[in-house]
Structure 1
């Protein structure tokens, strides 16, 4: 299945992009880098510039319907940029409306808050998002990985890079239609 990895042109935490990308690829999926601008995105190792990665599709021209699932890597700046882009927010919302699985790690749930899709869901994130998630109608838990079945789709969330193995294992199973 094609899996969209939505990132801003700058600010994604590199390991939160590369490890899930590898897990998706190793599971036989086709990861596709989607961003708000064409060209390359600039990844970071915390606050230091890391590698750049080529954009496969621009969100304004992408359709949630052409993907089986969505992965939202974190980084502090990445989801903050994404939540300010109406097309990126609409793209995320479309996955929920179409019942497709979504996975988000660290600060990435900020984009979910902006898309107004956390209401009634249980999720985890970097701890500083706890109040934002609660104010948006979600329930925040401090767990390594949380799989939330709500409505017609599943949401997989994790707190931080240290949780990447559990996050990758969980979203690969969920995206394959297996029990978490």
Structure 2
């Protein structure tokens, strides 16, 4: 069974956490949500606060070797908070150093910039962060999913099926039937 770690905090884009999590679980993966503190984190959904998600463990409790991939949902608030946390950036670097898939959507590629792991990589993201991606050395494209080595990036919630499919392919999981229902 593949194990996928999601790192998020209050203000995550609700669809970008909930939908990939469900798709991955439906395909047989174990998905664990880590955050800065125990309890619950609240999503952002179409301009207002959305649903809460239970935190399985804190970032400080995560052992990167226990997971096969890392998923970083976007939203503007969530990655902006997380990129200021050295423990989060260290975990992202651990996954990258191990060559494990790192999937970041929307504003979440900001975290890859902070971890300094996109220089020379083909990436995409929300339009307002594309200059940041370019300034960090990324080759920015405008497509549903950009895959370069272990780095998977997407632009927005409309890209979730392609984003999740790219992550599942990186994990060598079959999800065609699951994605038809997404």
Same-fold status (TM-score > 0.5): yes
Q: Which range is displaced more, 96-105 or 169-178? A: 169-178
- Unaligned 5+ residue runs, structure 2? 175-182
| Superposition pairs of residues 1-180 of structure 1, within 5 angstroms | 1-8=2-9, 10-149=10-149, 154-176=150-172
RMSD, matched Cα: 1.2
Shift of 1:173: 1.3
Consecutive aligned runs of 4 or more in structure 1 exceeding 3 Å deviation = none
Distance 2:159 2:77 in 1: 20
Would you tell me which structure has more strand in proportion to its own residues?
Answer: 1
Q: Residues 86-133 of structure 1, C-alpha deviation per residue, up to 9 Å, x if partnerless?
A: 101111111001111111110000011001111111111001111101
- Unaligned 5+ residue runs, structure 1? none
Q: Residues 116-159 of structure 1, C-alpha deviation per residue, up to 9 Å, x if partnerless?
A: 1111111110011111011111111111111112xxxx111110
- Give TM-score scaled by structure 1 length: 0.93
- Give TM-score scaled by structure 2 length: 0.92
Number of residues of Structure 1 aligned to a counterpart in Structure 2: 173
State whether residues 102 and 156 of structure 1, in contact with CA within 8 Å, keep that contact through their aligned partners in structure 2: yes
Distance 1:39 1:176 in 2: 32
